A = this chain, B = another copy of it.
Amino acid sequence: MPVNLPSPLSADLHAVPGVRIGVAEAGVRKANRKDLTVVLIDEGAAVAGVFTRNRFCAAPVQVCREHLAAGQGIRAMVINTGNANAGTGEDGLVRARSTCIALARHLDLSPEQILPFSTGVIMEPLPTDRIEAGLPAALADAQAGHWLRAAEGIMTTDTVPKAFSTRISLGGVPVTITGISKGAGMIRPNMATMLGFMATDAAIAPALMHQLATELADGSFNRVTVDGDTSTNDSFVVIATGKVTHPVVTSLDSADGRVLKEAMLDVARRLAQAIVRDGEGATKFIAIRVEGGRTGDECRQVAYSIAHSPLVKTAFFASDPNLGRILAAVGYAGIEDLDQTRIDLYLDDVHVAVNGGRNPAYREEDGQRVMKQSEITVRVNLGRGDAADTVWTCDFSHDYVTINADYRS
């Protein structure tokens, strides 16, 4: 069961002028599953993407990078589940390209205008024949109002579709932002999550798009982790269709730029947090905030060390305030000159450790009370500077083992 994640309602998701979505059952891996999604983008949109830093990146990630670099204007995306087309070598690249060629033919575009995405099992050949056979149905299904269908169409071990939408005013003109994401395991995004897509009808200068996508990913998908496993297929794409008639945003530091970026970041963060809330076997949503560091990087390093500790994660599952496990994870995070006598630890508002030792005023029942909640904030103060950063994660339950021991069977 996802942690405090309301199932999105179709009514709450605003269509984004300039984007249409179609979904079909292609039978990539299993029958009777909507496993093929196409996203059609009107001419003139600005598109940017950020991708996994896993050196074993999947074939579609490599093709996405090439096609974005080609600069011919991205006009469509094709997304399949059931097969990641990763660990597939040269043959995988050929198959990812062939899917783009097939879709380009239908749309009278060049293949470089298509971005391909795959998610699912690693190291099995992508069944391009089935995907290509499914394209006409997906294209026939394309409508502007199909965001929820897309969120469902890209699910793998997700238990709920993940989609958020917001409307802001930019220079008096209403602007729409809508995004979807998927992912529940193999989640420690490094540049982006498994799959995240956002679109706005705002007009954004193409030169600004990569910076925008990077900053959005850094503030959202790059701050969540389920199991520390950075996927081979992480991809996050931002589309600005420019259908709205307001002055083009040419700087993220302008008044309009700040408003737009903040609203987009809010949607991106909700999409990213939704992945953790629906993390495999998750029963709790945990924010880990590390303060008092010398740099944001070292705060994040400590936060991830805590977030990835199986001992910490199982203690959260058990609602056991075994908080020494958190201190141990702080200690092995790799900060060589860390002074343990300056470290404070809080569980929500409960002050657990002071100067590296148990707070004399700490009572086990207070820790227990917080540990039983479904949303918990762990706060660590390193006592060595003014930097801070936050990472979001979930606990580690029996169901995580069950899900991952059974995933392929």
List A residues at the B interface (Cβ < 8 Å).
53-57, 84, 86-92, 121-125, 185-186, 188, 190, 227-232, 308-311, 314-315, 317-318, 320, 322-325, 327-333, 335-336, 338-341, 343, 353, 355-358, 396-398, 400-402, 404-409
Among B121, B329, B332, B340, contact of A322 (Cβ-Cβ < 8 Å): B121
Among B57, B125, B310, B356, contact of A310 (Cβ-Cβ < 8 Å): B310
**Least CB distance, A233 to chain B, in whole angstroms:** 9
A330 B398 Cβ-Cβ under 8 A:
no
Q: Which 10 A-B pairs have the closest CB atoms?
A: A122-B324, A89-B357, A56-B331, A318-B405, A230-B332, A123-B324, A314-B404, A54-B331, A55-B338, A87-B327
Among B186, B330, B333, B336, contact of A328 (Cβ-Cβ < 8 Å): B186
Compute how far the CA of A155 lies from the CA of B54 in the bound complex, rounded to whole angstroms.
Answer: 40
Q: Which residues of B contact A325 (CB under 8 A)?
A: 122, 186, 229
A-B contact pairs, 28 of them (CB 8 A): A54-B331, A54-B332, A55-B330, A55-B335, A55-B338, A55-B340, A56-B328, A56-B332, A56-B343, A86-B327, A87-B324, A87-B328, A87-B353, A122-B322, A122-B323, A123-B323, A125-B358, A186-B325, A186-B328, A227-B310, A229-B311, A314-B404, A315-B404, A318-B406, A320-B405, A320-B407, A398-B402, A401-B401
Q: Which residues of B contact A358 (CB under 8 A)?
A: 87-89, 123-125
B332 A53 Cβ-Cβ under 8 A:
yes
Q: Which residues of B contact A328 (CB under 8 A)?
A: 54, 56, 86-87, 122, 186, 229-232
B88 A357 Cβ-Cβ under 8 A:
yes
A310 B355 Cβ-Cβ under 8 A:
no
B89 A341 Cβ-Cβ under 8 A:
yes
B322 A408 Cβ-Cβ under 8 A:
yes
Compute how far the CA of A357 lies from the CA of B91 in the bound complex, rounded to whole angstroms.
Answer: 8
Chain B residue at smallest Cβ distance from A91: B357
> Interface of chain A, helix or strand or loop or mixed?
loop
Among B232, B311, B341, B353, contact of A404 (Cβ-Cβ < 8 Å): B311
Compute how far the CA of A230 lies from the CA of B84 in the bound complex, rounded to whole angstroms.
Answer: 33
Given A55-B331, A405-B314, does the pair A123, B227 have CB atoms closer than 8 Å?
no
**Least CB distance, A300 to chain B, in whole angstroms:** 15
**Least CB distance, A284 to chain B, in whole angstroms:** 12
Given A318-B405, A328-B186, does the pair A310, B84 have CB atoms closer than 8 Å?
no
Compute how far the CA of A331 lies from the CA of B87 in the bound complex, rounded to whole angstroms.
Answer: 10
Query: A55, A231, A314, A406 — which one has the most chain B CB atoms within 10 A of its CB?
Result: A55
A122-B324, A310-B404 known, 18 other contacts, Cβ within 8 Å: A54-B328, A55-B339, A56-B328, A56-B331, A84-B324, A86-B324, A87-B324, A122-B325, A122-B327, A123-B323, A123-B358, A124-B358, A186-B325, A229-B309, A230-B332, A232-B331, A314-B404, A397-B401
